[in-house]
Structure 1
Amino acid sequence: MGLTSNKVLALAFACAVLLFVGTVWLWPRLARRNWRAVSGRVGLLLATQLVLFVSVGLGANQAFGFYASWSDLFGRETDQGVVVDHTALRGAGGPLHVVGTRRVDAPGGASLPSSVGQVQRVDIVGRTTHIASPAYVYLPPEYFQPRYRTRTFPATVVLTGYPGTAQALVDKLNYPRTALQLAKDGRMRPMILVMLRPTVAPPRDTECVDVPGGPHTESFFAKDLPDAVTAHYRVSKKPGSWGIVGDSTGGYCALKLAMHHPGVYAAGAGLSPYYKAPTDPTTGDLFQGDETLRNEANLWWYLKHRPAPDTSLLVTSSKAGEHNYKDTLKFIDRVRSNNSTRIASIILDSGGHNFNTWRREIPATLEWLSGRLGNG
Structure 2
Amino acid sequence: MGLTSRSLLYAMVAVAVVCVGLTLWLWPRFAGRGPRALLGRLGSIVGTQLAVVAALGLAVNGNFQFYSSWHELLGLYDDAPAAVGKWGDGGTAGPAGDPSKGLVQTAGPDGLEKVHGLPKGPPEQAGRVESVRIVGRRTRAVDPAYVYLPPQYFQPQFARQRFPVIVALSGYPGGSFLLGQHLRLPQTAARLIRAGRMQPTVIVMMRPTIAPPRDTQCVDVPGGPQAETFFARDVPQALVSHYRVGHDPGGWGVMGYSSGGSCALQLAMRHDRTYSAAAALSPDYKVSSDPTTGNLFGDGRGRVRRRQEHDLMWRLRHLPAPQVNVLVGTSRTGEKNYPAAKAFLAAVRPPMKADAVVLDHGSHNFATWRRELPAALLWMDKQLTFPEDVVGNS
Per the TM superposition, whether the score is higher than 0.5 is: yes
**One-letter amino acid of the structure 2 residue matched with residue 141 of structure 1:** P
Question: Which residue pairs with 1:361 in the alignment?
Answer: 372
Contact 2:97 2:136 in 1 (8 A): no
1:4 aligns to what SS in structure 2? coil
Question: Which residue pairs with 2:45 in the alignment?
Answer: 45
**One-letter amino acid of the structure 2 residue matched with residue 140 of structure 1:** P
**One-letter amino acid of the structure 2 residue matched with residue 351 of structure 1:** G
Question: Which residue pairs with 2:219 in the alignment?
Answer: 209
Question: Which residue pairs with 1:69 in the alignment?
Answer: 69
2:295 to 270, 279, 285: 285
1:268 aligns to what SS in structure 2? strand
1:304 to 308, 317, 321: 317
- The answer to whether the aligner puts 1:193 opposite 2:203 as a matched pair is yes
Contact 2:165 2:253 in 1 (8 A): yes
- In structure 2, runs of 5+ residues without a counterpart are 83-93, 388-394
How far does the alpha carbon of each residue in 1:48-83 deviate from its partner, in whole angstroms, 9 at most, with x for none? Answer: 222222222223323333222222222224568445
**One-letter amino acid of the structure 2 residue matched with residue 303 of structure 1:** L
Question: Which residue pairs with 1:11 in the alignment?
Answer: 11
Task: Report the Cα offset of residue 320 of structure 1.
Answer: 3.3
2:147 to 121, 137, 140: 137
Alignment of 1:292-331 (within 5 A): 292-331=305-344
**One-letter amino acid of the structure 2 residue matched with residue 374 of structure 1:** T
**One-letter amino acid of the structure 2 residue matched with residue 98 of structure 1:** T
Identity %: 48
Contact 1:99 1:122 in 2 (8 A): yes
2:137 aligns to what SS in structure 1? coil
2:235 to 225, 228, 236: 225
Q: Which moved more, 1:283-292 or 1:146-155?
A: 283-292
1:242 to 252, 267, 292: 252
Q: Which moved more, 1:236-245 or 1:343-352?
A: 343-352
**One-letter amino acid of the structure 1 residue matched with residue 51 of structure 2:** V
Q: Hey, what's the Cα distance between the residues in 2 that align with 1:25 and 1:46?
A: 16
**One-letter amino acid of the structure 2 residue matched with residue 96 of structure 1:** V
1:264 aligns to what SS in structure 2? coil
Task: Report the Cα offset of residue 325 of structure 1.
Answer: 2.0
Task: Report the Cα offset of residue 196 of structure 1.
Answer: 1.2
- The answer to whether the aligner puts 1:35 opposite 2:35 as a matched pair is yes
Question: Which residue pairs with 1:261 in the alignment?
Answer: 271
How far does the alpha carbon of each residue in 1:314-365 deviate from its partner, in whole angstroms, 9 at most, with x for none? Answer: 1122233322222112112222xx0212212222333332333322322222
1:99 to 107, 113, 117: 107
Contact 1:126 1:228 in 2 (8 A): yes
Q: CA RMSD in A?
A: 2.4
1:147 aligns to what SS in structure 2? helix
Q: Hey, what's the Cα distance between the residues in 1 that align with 2:6 and 2:246?
A: 39
1:371 aligns to what SS in structure 2? helix
- The answer to whether the aligner puts 1:2 opposite 2:6 as a matched pair is no
Contact 1:139 1:192 in 2 (8 A): yes
Question: Which residue pairs with 1:375 in the alignment?
Answer: 386
Task: Report the Cα offset of residue 40 of structure 1.
Answer: 2.2
Question: Which residue pairs with 1:172 in the alignment?
Answer: 182
2:162 to 136, 152, 167: 152
Q: Hey, what's the Cα distance between the residues in 2 that align with 1:271 and 1:74?
A: 30
1:113 to 114, 123, 133: 123
1:245 aligns to what SS in structure 2? strand
CA gap 1:110/1:294 in 2 versus in 1, 3 angstroms:
closer
Contact 2:64 2:177 in 1 (8 A): no
How far does the alpha carbon of each residue in 1:141-187 deviate from its partner, in whole angstroms, 9 at most, with x for none? Answer: 11112222122110010112222222322233222122111211222
How far does the alpha carbon of each residue in 1:231-257 deviate from its partner, in whole angstroms, 9 at most, with x for none? Answer: 211102234100001122211110011
Contact 1:77 1:202 in 2 (8 A): no
Q: Hey, what's the Cα distance between the residues in 1 that align with 2:204 and 2:228?
A: 16
Q: Hey, what's the Cα distance between the residues in 2 that align with 1:329 and 1:24?
A: 56
1:265 aligns to what SS in structure 2? coil
TM score, norm. by length of structure 1: 0.89
Q: Hey, what's the Cα distance between the residues in 1 that align with 2:352 and 2:360?
A: 26
CA gap 1:57/1:318 in 2 versus in 1, 3 angstroms:
farther
Contact 2:136 2:238 in 1 (8 A): yes
How far does the alpha carbon of each residue in 1:269-317 deviate from its partner, in whole angstroms, 9 at most, with x for none? Answer: 1121111111123222222232332211111111111111111111122
